[in-house]
Amino acid sequence: MSENCIFCGIVAGDIPSTRVAETDRAIAFMDIAPATPGHLLVIPREHSTDLREAAPEDLIAATTLAQSLVGRVIERLDDATGANLLSCIGADAWQSVFHTHLHVIPRYPNDPMVLPWHPHAGDLDEIKATAAKLS
């Protein structure tokens, strides 16, 4: 547990949250600044800054819980036709709370959420060169 971490405070019950589901290793609660109606956060109970630090067992628990919530979102929320599962790692990637977490964001036809990424064809040579660095 990290002393100044808001999510650790939620895990401990010191900070109120609207919990939706929990396991022995992870909890899911409603985001208080939702991108769309039904936006959830899934976090491991153990503190880690992001998925690079998280114990594999915590990632498995959080991902499995998120998987079940994606199904609920699409089945139970009126008009939800899909969902985004998002993990932000670092401030430049929009991480604002430095405790590993997954966003489960319900998607609706014509909803207001717009990501700043607009897919377009990339340069194949650059793609291959980058792949070589990562292999």
Tell me the pLDDT band of 106, cut-offs 50, 70 and 90.
very high
Q: Which pTM value belongs to this model?
A: 0.90
Q: How far apart are CA 115 and CA 103, in angstroms?
A: 14
Q: Is residue 129 part of a domain?
A: yes
Percent of the chain at pLDDT exceeding 90: 77
> Which residue range(s) make up the domain with 96?
6-134
* pLDDT reading at 67 higher than 90: yes
Active site residue ranges? 101
Domain count, the chain: 1
CATH of residue 113's domain is 3.30.428.10
Q: Is residue 1 part of a domain?
A: no
Torsion of CA 50, 54, 58, 60, to 10 degrees: 80
